Every structure is written in C-alpha cells, then in structure tokens.
Amino acid sequence: MRLMRGLLALLTCVAFSGCVVRGPEIRVKPPVEIKAEREGKFCPPGQAKKGNC
C-alpha cells in the first residue's frame, strides 16, 4: 500500500510538472507628448468651469 501511494504521488508530480500557469500580461507604452500650438489660449472642455484655465 505504501508503494502505491508513492507511485501515485510520483505520477501526480509528473503530470502537473508539464502544466504552465501564466498570469495576466500588462504592456506599458511610453507617454505621449502633446504640443500646444497656441500657448495658453486652449482650454480642454470642462476645465474652464472648474477654474483650471
């Protein structure tokens, strides 16, 4: 009986050693630079009401 448990444990380890578990992948892109053509005159929608412009 002890031999059977050992073989079962060995078989289980061999069966699960071939499995690969991968987590989610996240790809980060570099920041995008935005150049203002009219310096200080453009205000994004909604920002003027908040007093940010």
25-41, pLDDT tens digit by residue? 899 999 888 776 656 67
Distance (Å, rounded) from C-alpha 34 to C-alpha 42? 12
Residues in the chain: 53
Kindly state the greatest CA–CA separation across the chain: 84
Give the CA distances from residue 42 to residues 9, 33, 34, 45, 49, in Å, rounded to whole numbers and listed in that order. 69, 16, 12, 9, 14
**Confidence (pTM):** 0.34
Give the residue-averaged pLDDT of 6-29.
85
- Within 10 A of 43 (CB to CB), how many other CB atoms are there? 12
The confidence score (pLDDT) of residue 8 equals 93
If one compares 39 and 18, the residue with the highest pLDDT of the two is: 18
Give the residue-averaged pLDDT of 17-27.
82
**Has residue 12 got a pLDDT over 60?**
yes
**Has residue 11 got a pLDDT over 60?**
yes
